[in-house]
């Protein structure tokens, strides 16, 4: 079982099964909805996805007919996306996970739409906390 929560903690979810088809999506819609270079998404069977607390705190934005992005109405953390054409699955945003997972991303998608400053092969320094000199 995997556990996840939004930034403010109002929404808590559990996943009682595998997360499949995990990708890093670089499309402009994912970039805009997350405010980041890409979104890491995976699919979860609807019957294995449970909102434990905060169901009333989840709202949505329907960006295309039948396709909704569900997020916390307090902190705006993206939780999952749903598609009327595939009601047996939700597309889960891995960034809200609180527990480690066994599955791993399989690809970077829509790389021709990636942010122009994103360098997928960058050899940037890595730090455990903030970069040196930052308080």
Residue 45, in any domain of the structure: yes
Tokens of 81: 């996306």
Residue 47 in domain: yes
Residue 21 lies in a domain: yes
Count how many domains the chain has: 1
pLDDT (tens digit per residue) in 51-99: 999 999 999 999 889 999 999 999 999 999 999 999 999 999 999 999 9
Q: 106-134, pLDDT tens digit by residue?
A: 999 999 999 999 988 777 787 888 778 87
Tokens of 16: 């009682």
Domain that holds residue 9: 2-113
Residue 31 in any domain: the answer is: yes
Beta bridge partners of 109: 25
Burial readout 50-82 (b: 16 or more C-beta within 10 A, e: otherwise): ebeebeebbeeeeeeeebbbbbbeeeebbbbbb
Torsions phi, psi for 4 (to 5 deg)? -150, 160
Residue at 124 is within a domain? no
Pairing of strands 12-15, 67-72: unpaired
- For position 75, which CATH number holds? 2.170.150.70
Flag whether 118 is in a domain. no
Give 15: exposed, middle or buried? Use CB within 10 Å, 0-12, 13-18, 19+.
buried
Q: Comparing C-alpha atoms, which of 106, 98, 86 is closest to residue 44? A: 86
Specify if 120 maps to a domain.
no
Q: How far apart are CA 131 and CA 135, in angstroms?
A: 9
**Position 68 in a domain:** yes
Give the span between the Cα atoms of 69 and 65, in whole angstroms.
11
Q: Report the predicted TM-score, pTM, of the whole model to 2 decimal places.
A: 0.88
Report the pLDDT averaged over residues 22-32: 92
């Amino acid at each position: 079982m995997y556990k996840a929560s939004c930034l403010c903690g109002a929404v808590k979810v559990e996943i009682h099964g595998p997360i499949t088809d995990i990708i890093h999506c670089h499309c402009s819609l994912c970039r805009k909805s997350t405010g980041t270079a890409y979104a890491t998404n995976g699919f979860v069977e609807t019957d294995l996805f449970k909102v434990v607390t905060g169901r009333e705190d989840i709202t949505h934005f329907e960006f295309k007919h039948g396709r909704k992005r569900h997020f916390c109405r307090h902190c705006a953390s993206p939780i999952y996306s749903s598609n009327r054409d595939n009601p047996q699955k939700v597309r889960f945003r891995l960034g809200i996970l609180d527990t480690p997972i066994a599955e791993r991303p399989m690809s970077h998608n829509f790389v021709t739409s990636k942010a122009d400053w994103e360098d997928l092969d960058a050899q940037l320094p890595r730090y455990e906390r903030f970069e040196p000199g930052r308080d």
